[in-house]
Structure formats: structure tokens, C-alpha cells
Amino acid sequence: MTLQFHSKLPHVGTTIFTVMSQLAAECGAINLSQGFPDYDGPAALKDRVKHYLDAGFNQYPPMAGVAPLRTAVAAKVLEWYGAHVSPDTEITITPGATEAIYCAITAVVGVGDEVILFDPAYDCYEPAILLAGGRPVRLPLMPPAYRIDWQRVADSITPRTRMILVNSPHNPTGSVLEAEDLLALQALAEQHNLIVCADEVYEHLIFDGRRHESVLRYPALAARSFAVSSFGKTYHVTGWKTGYCVAPAVLTAELRRVHQFVTFVGITPIQFGLADFMRDHPEHLRELPAFYQRKRDLFGQALAGSRFRTTPSAGTYFQLADYSAISDLSDVAFAEWLTRHVGVAAIPVSVFYAQPPAAKYVRFCFCKNDDTLREAAARLAAL
């Protein structure tokens, strides 16, 4: 008898990041698609991880993460956002931010519950909602500003709404939430007894003097929020797949119930090494915005004479580019053509929408060496 079963994710294929990175490798193209640096993390951080590898810290850590790293995260949250959080009951170290988001959604979303999210939405959100039996309610962010229409959010809330999922700084658009956005979110969450999941993995990649408006800055919002971040993004070590979630004790307890049966723990020597580096090198976080803003500006200035139209990204290490003056191709076809014929890989933005707008945008990643950015921009400017 032929095996028969029903897929839980019948419309989900290989992620666009894998597809474009594989195509870039096949074509020998400069990969400005998937968001990982082509430079290494800090030498002092790697040295501390090596120390713990050699010192025998190679067995299971506590399920919630090693105490020094949770303590370091609590100190950072207090310094940057003025929030007192407990390392023991409100911070969980996870193998990557994606796992934290999955566990947060799985912990609180049930069959028939609705989760509001905003398109273009990072591609891990909807599958987690669907696997939990929930229903994604996708509201569009419209170019070029990509701001949330809070009246539309209010009108979309029903008795089944369980969670609002926000992402700032925003992947793929590079937009950021302002203080008034957080206040609007807080008011709706309190009024309707909603839980918030805040994807803040690019919290320290924010430019032009802006302040990251974390949910943790707003006590009433923090009391009903999962705030997720990423050491990989912050310390240029995406392959280490280490992140964390800050949430009130009642939500953390639920997240850990799921986390312990998904991956159980993160990698021990990496956690201890990160704790030491955070303690000994606080300047890294202070210098990071300028580090990436310079790369953003280098890439943007190199494209200034091209037919691409750009508005400087407000955060993340991504830059959107309007290619409508160059081609009538769909963004998926244009991204493939760029990779094959120009030698630069990008991400089409429409794949992050349920119903994409007519605008023609691709996303370039600028967390690359300066020479990589200059060469990519030269190829793009020649179009």
C-alpha cells in the first residue's frame, strides 16, 4: 500500500535564503542575499570559547542556559532598556532566535487562535503559527515607509486574537518602530488581553541616532511580551545559532515547557564564552551601530549613480532597492537574473507577503567586507 498522510505544511518549501545562497554558489555570484557576514567574529570572543572547549566545559548546561550568560543578559537589559529582569525566571538561552520564536508561539497559541503579523514577514513566523493550530492574520506594511497602520490592527482584532507578532528593526525592509508605535501596541495588548512576541534580533543595528524601542522599555508591555534577540547577529557569529528570550516569569515558564523538548539546551562553551565577552567588552554594543551604518552608507553611495532607487535603511544590515527603472520582471525572476547574469544575489521581497504589492523591490545584505560591497555595487551600477 502506498504511504498516505497529510502534510502539516503543504505550502511550505525550501526557504528563499537557502535557494538564493545555493544559486549564488552555483553561479559564483557575490552573495548579498542571506544575512551572514563574510568576516569573522571578535578574536577575543573566539578565544574565550576556545578556553572553555579546552577547559572541559563540554557537557549539558542547564536547560535555561548557563547562569553567567543569563546574568550578563539581565545586566544588558537593565543598562540599555532600564528594565529589571530575573536571570533565573525571566531569561532563557536558546539555540537561535528562530527556536525562541517557535517555542513562544507554541507555548501560548492554540487551535483556532489568531496571530496578527505584518507583511513582509520573516518566513519562520507563519509555519510556527500553523503548526500550533493557529490562524495567521497578515496585515501589509506598504512601501516606501513600511509603517504599521494601528487603526487597521485594531479593526482586525477579534475574540480569537491571541498574539501580535512584531519585528523591529524589521527584516526585510529595515524600518523601525517608534515610541508611538510601542504605545499603540501596549494600549491594544492591554485592552484586548493579548500576548506580544517581539522579534528584536537586530536591536543593536539601528542608525542615524535612533533609539531601539524595545518592548522591554515599556513595563505594561513587557509584562505580556516575549522579547527575542540573537547573539549571532550582534557578535557576527550567525553560525553559532545562539539567541535568547526575555519574558515575565509566567510566560517564561510556558516557553521553557516547550523549549526543553525542542532542543533542551544550547552549546555550553559558546554560552560561557559569550558571557565573558559581554562582561569584558561592553564597547562592542556601543560601537556596533556606527560599524554597520558606515557599511550601509558605503554601499548606498556606491549605488547612488545607478538606476536602483534606495532610501537608507533605518536598521538591520539590509537595504531595499527599487529596480522598477531597470526591469519589468517580477522580483523573484529579477533576483534570479541578477544572480545568473550580473553576479550579485539578492532576496525578492514579495516572498514575505501573502498578497504582495505591485512595487518592485529586492533586498541586499550589507554585512560584508568593504571590498565585497564595492565590487557588488560596481556590478549593479553598470546596469
CATH number at residue 160: 3.40.640.10
Same-domain pairing of 174 and 227: yes
Checking if the pLDDT of 206 tops 90, the result is yes
Bridge partner list, 91: 246
Same-domain pairing of 249 and 317: no
Report yes or no on 11 lying in a domain: no
pTM of the model: 0.96
Same-domain pairing of 112 and 33: no
The predicted structure's pLDDT at residue 382: 96
Rounded to an integer, the average pLDDT of 150-164 is 98
The predicted structure's pLDDT at residue 287: 98
Same-domain pairing of 246 and 301: no
Same-domain pairing of 21 and 153: no
Same-domain pairing of 90 and 180: yes
The string of pLDDT tens digits covering residues 104-143 is 999 999 999 999 999 999 999 999 999 999 999 999 998 9
- How many C-alpha atoms does 93 have within 13 Å on its Cβ side? 31
Report yes or no on 7 lying in a domain: no
Rounded to an integer, the average pLDDT of 238-258 is 98
Report yes or no on 194 lying in a domain: yes
Q: Whose grid coordinates read 578574536? A: 43
Report yes or no on 174 lying in a domain: yes
Same-domain pairing of 364 and 296: yes
Same-domain pairing of 116 and 214: yes
Our count of domains for the chain comes to: 2
Using pLDDT thresholds of 50, 70 and 90, give the confidence band for residue 221.
Answer: very high
Using pLDDT thresholds of 50, 70 and 90, give the confidence band for residue 241.
Answer: very high
CB count within 10 Å of CB 133 equals: 13
Report yes or no on 6 lying in a domain: no
**Percent of the chain scored above 70 by pLDDT?**
100
Q: Please say whether the beta carbons of 189 and 196 come within 8 A.
A: yes
Same-domain pairing of 220 and 292: no
- How many C-alpha atoms does 297 have within 13 Å on its Cβ side? 8
Domain range enclosing 137: 43-280
The predicted structure's pLDDT at residue 11: 86
Last residue of a domain, one of 229, 250, 280: 280
Report yes or no on 66 lying in a domain: yes
The string of pLDDT tens digits covering residues 2-59 is 898 889 998 888 888 889 999 999 999 999 999 999 999 999 999 999 999 999 999 9
Q: Please say whether the beta carbons of 38 and 366 come within 8 A.
A: no
Rounded to an integer, the average pLDDT of 179-202 is 98
Bridge partner list, 364: 319
Residues 6+ apart with CB under 8 A from 290: none
Bond before 169 cis per omega within 30 degrees: yes
Same-domain pairing of 290 and 268: no
Report yes or no on 195 lying in a domain: yes
The predicted structure's pLDDT at residue 17: 87
- Distance, in Å, from the CA atom of 170 to the CA atom of 183, rounded to the nearest integer, reads 18
Report yes or no on 113 lying in a domain: yes
The predicted structure's pLDDT at residue 277: 98
Distance from the first to the final alpha carbon of the chain: 55
- Distance, in Å, from the CA atom of 333 to the CA atom of 346, rounded to the nearest integer, reads 11
Closest CA relative to residue 104, chosen from 150, 53, 162, 59: 162
Same-domain pairing of 316 and 224: no
Closest CA relative to residue 101, chosen from 38, 167, 25: 167
Q: Residue 310's domain is classified under what CATH number?
A: 3.90.1150.10
The string of pLDDT tens digits covering residues 287-343 is 999 999 999 999 999 999 899 999 999 999 999 999 999 999 999 999 999 999 999
Last residue of a domain, one of 234, 264, 280: 280
Checking if the pLDDT of 1 tops 90, the result is no
Last residue of a domain, one of 280, 303, 325: 280
Using pLDDT thresholds of 50, 70 and 90, give the confidence band for residue 65.
Answer: very high
| Burial of 325: CB neighbours in 10 Å, binned 0-12, 13-18, 19+ | exposed
The predicted structure's pLDDT at residue 15: 86
Same-domain pairing of 348 and 323: yes
